[in-house]
Each structure stands twice: as C-alpha cells, then as structure tokens.
Amino acid sequence: MTNPATTTQQSGAIPAQPGPREVMGMTDGVIPGGAPSGPSGRGQGTEAVLPGVGAGGESAARQAGHAVIPDLGSSVEFAPGQAPGRVIPGAGPSGKPGSRPTVKLREAGPDDPPRYAPEWLELREPADAVARAHDLLDPLRIRLANLPGKSGGVVIHDLGCGTGSMGRWLAPRLDGAQHWILHDRDPYLLHFAAVSSPRSAADGSRVSVETRRGDIARLTPDALQGASLVTASALLDVLTREEIDTFAAACAGAGCPALLTLSVAGRVELTPSHPLDAEIAQAFNDHQRRDGLLGPDAVTAAAEAFSEHGATVRLHPSPWRLGPEQAALTEQWLRGWVGAAVEERPELRAEADVYLTNRLAACAAGELRVTVHHVDLLALSRPVGGAS
C-alpha cells in the first residue's frame, strides 16, 4: 500500500477537470431499452432518442419531449491553431469570473453557460482511456470476485459520469454481469452516457444501465447500499476536504471499493520549455484551490481519508502524454490552462497572450509536446462483515 503521508503533490495543475461534478434533483430513472429497472427497482426513466432514430426522427422526438442526443462523431471540426478564440466549456473558464463547478445541489439559471460541453468530453476521452492506470485493474478484479453476495453480478455507481467514458472504458475490462448506476447533474449528458454505454462485459455477460440524479456531496452508506464499486473520473480535485471525507466514509460504511481516476497531480511539463511555464502553472494551481477546493492536493487528502476509514489505498500515475496526434486536445487544454491562470492573476494577461499565441503556433506545427500528470486511486474498503 502506498503511504499517503509520504505522497506529495507539487505545484502547477491542469485546467478544471471536465465531466460534470454537479448532480441535481432527486429523481431516478432507467433508460428504456438500455436496462431493466435493476437492483434498485426504480420507476421509469426518460427516454433518450438519437437523431433520426425512431418514428419521426429528431423532430418527432423533440415534440414528444424526449432528450435528443447529437452524433458527436464529427462535432469537433476546428483545426489546431485555427480554432475560434473560445474555450469549450470544461476546458477552462467559460462562465462568469470566479465561477466553478460544484458538487452542491444547484439549479442552473437560464443565462448560465454549460459547464461541460460534450465536445470537450469527447475530445479528451481517447487520452483518458490511454492514461488510466491499467495496473490497478487486477487488484480491483480480485476484490470484486471475492465480494460477498455478488452472485447476481456487480453494481457500479459512476459519479459525475459525463458522457459515460468511464463505463465505456471499464465495463469491457471486467468479467461478469454488471449494473451501472450513472450519476450526473446534467440530464443531457446523462442520457448520452446511458444510450452509449457498453452492453456486454469482457466475458460477454450483460451490462445494464440506470440513471440517477442526486447530490454526491451528501453521499451516505445508505445511498450506496448494495454497491459493489464506486467510480469517478477527474472528480476529486473539485471537492473540498470535508466532501472527500464524506465520500470516503460513505464508501467505507458500504464496504465497497472506489476507483477514482485522472485526478490532477499538480505537474505539467511542456517541451520545448518556456520561462513563463512555471508562473502560469502556479497561477493555475492557485485557481484550482479557490473556495476551499483541493485541486492538486486532492489525491493526498483522499488517500489519507480512505486510509483513516480502514481502506487499503493504491496510487498509480496516469499522465496524459500529448503530441501532434492530440493537437486538438492540446489546443483546448492550453486555452483553458492559460485562461484560468489569467483569471487568477489578471496582471499576467499581456505576457500570457503572447505566450498562448506562441504555444498554439507550436502546437499547430506539431512542435509541442505536453505531459499533464494525473494520479489514479484505488481504495479497497473492508467489505461489510468481512476482512480487507
């Protein structure tokens, strides 16, 4: 087990991690055609319709009140270095100065911009899939195989699921029947995650899916009753210390492990280097810690919290390694990274504008490489009624 007390997170961080961290309402639902009601036995959900699918296609779907999910396969079309001067929501600051994602229950106002655009989540999904720590899967598989009462399959809660990238990555890597409960604030993303979720496990067993909207800041062991696993991506860094302790206590009380991937590690490396790199990184790091959020300190805090609740904690690096093949993602990451730094320290704007222009030109020319460090965490809580 990695000793969390000796795990040090350094300064500098990547931009706000996308994938909605806000969940709202207290309604549950099962996506018709995607899953039965599952272990929770909840009521009917809202149907999600792909454009052109079903009688009447998109127009009929809208008239019927269904959510219409776009085909995101060609949604990111701009070329590196020539994108409009905007940041896709989720890649960096896109709302009012000082606004931030939150896990607290909050209804969006009519003028609020989207916090996380599907385009950003799609853009980062391949890099996320490559970066996630495969070495944590074997200990996770062993724990799931030995959980008591799993004869009917495992139940996996995915918190802040976004468009469902965690399920698309993990479900085909686990054997046995799985029932995924997808949590998110944004019903648009929630429907997309449900209709695009895998339908079979590694051994061909059935994978079903359920959607649920609730407040993950108020997780309790009761809310996770019957859970075999809790997962999340890029979530820890937008939590406070109190919220992380609540999260760890809930998992420990339910006796279920947690796989928490792609948390910022506080280090960014750009090649070739530039004298302003460290200052931008530090300003962004300060931005990440606004309003009591832990940012790059979150992994250490989470490791400590889970350990204090009796879990065995394993940490493993999961860096993005971005080169010419990931130029579109690098461009958006740069815009968000520099934008957050300038929002935190407005006096940097003049220098940062020149810096960003030069960095984007290098990115477009295939001359820039970026390593964005993350850490994956696997917390193996003691099963209820069993030994760890």
Q: Crossing angle for the helix pair 327-344 and 277-288, nearest 10 degrees?
A: 70
Selected from 3.30.565.10, 3.40.190.10, 3.40.50.150, 3.30.450.40, the CATH number assigned to the domain covering 4-72+96-264+295-319+374-380 reads: 3.40.50.150
Q: Would you state the pLDDT for residue 356? A: 97
Give the global pTM: 0.74
**H-state helical runs in the chain:** 57-63, 118-131, 137-145, 165-170, 187-195, 241-254, 277-288, 298-308, 327-344, 349-364
Q: 183 and 159 in contact (C-beta within 8 Å)?
A: yes
Is the pLDDT at 138 greater than 50, yes or no? Answer: yes
Most confident of 72-81, 234-243, 312-321: 312-321
Average pLDDT on 311-325 reads: 97
User: When comparing pLDDT for 357 and 81, which is higher?
Assistant: 357
- Local confidence band at 306 (pLDDT 50, 70, 90 cut-offs): very high
Distance CA 294, CA 296 (A): 6
Measured CA distances, 33 to 36, 183, 195 (Å) = 8, 18, 9
- Local confidence band at 92 (pLDDT 50, 70, 90 cut-offs): low
Is the pLDDT at 143 greater than 50, yes or no? Answer: yes
- Local confidence band at 54 (pLDDT 50, 70, 90 cut-offs): very low
Helix (H, G, I), strand (E, B) or coil at 200: strand
Q: Would you state the pLDDT for residue 266? A: 85
Q: Would you state the pLDDT for residue 367? A: 97
Measured CA distances, 346 to 117, 296, 332, 341 (Å) = 25, 22, 20, 8
Instruction: Count the neighbouring beta carbons within 10 Å of the beta carbon of residue 77.
Output: 8
Q: Residue 168 contacts by C-beta under 8 Å, 6 or more apart in sequence?
A: 125, 196, 197, 198
**% of the chain exceeding 70 in pLDDT:** 67
Is the pLDDT at 351 greater than 60, yes or no? Answer: yes
Distance CA 383, CA 388 (A): 6
Q: Would you state the pLDDT for residue 215? A: 58
Measured CA distances, 264 to 13, 96, 219 (Å) = 6, 23, 22
Out of 86-90, 244-248, 354-358, which region has the weakest mean confidence (pLDDT)? Answer: 86-90
Is the pLDDT at 108 greater than 90, yes or no? Answer: no
Instruction: Count the neighbouring beta carbons within 10 Å of the beta carbon of residue 46.
Output: 17
Task: Please give the mean pLDDT across all residues of the chain.
Answer: 75
Is the pLDDT at 123 greater than 70, yes or no? Answer: yes
Q: Would you state the pLDDT for residue 9? A: 30
- Local confidence band at 86 (pLDDT 50, 70, 90 cut-offs): low
Q: Residue 272 contacts by C-beta under 8 Å, 6 or more apart in sequence?
A: 362, 367, 368
- Local confidence band at 8 (pLDDT 50, 70, 90 cut-offs): very low
Q: Would you state the pLDDT for residue 355? A: 97
